[in-house]
Amino acid sequence: MKLIGLALVVCGVLILAYGGFSYMRREKVVDIGSLHVTAETRRDVPIAPIAGIAAIVGGIVLVLADAKRGGLKG
């Protein structure tokens, strides 16, 4: 549970730092017989800062709950 909590905190920090991600998409523009023209377009996917804050808070709750439960005994 501690590992999942730490992963959530890291993801939350990355979301707050970058605010989203982008990717390239190749689209067919013209397709006439043997003539094929494609274009690459950049798509941006924004992620709301509240998602990063929620991930950080959730991760901290998981880490604290695991510590209160006794952590990795065994």
Domains in the chain: boundaries: 2-69
Nearest partner of 22 among 40, 49, 7, judged by Cα: 40
Report the C-alpha gap between 54 and 52 in whole angstroms.
Answer: 5
The whole-number pLDDT of residue 72 equals 58
- Element (DSSP H or E) covering residue 46: strand 35-46
> Could you report the average pLDDT of every consecutive run of 10 residues in the chain (74 residues)?
94 94 93 92 94 96 88 54
> How many Cβ atoms are within 10 Å of 37's Cβ, its own excluded?
10
The whole-number pLDDT of residue 1 equals 87
pTM of the model: 0.69
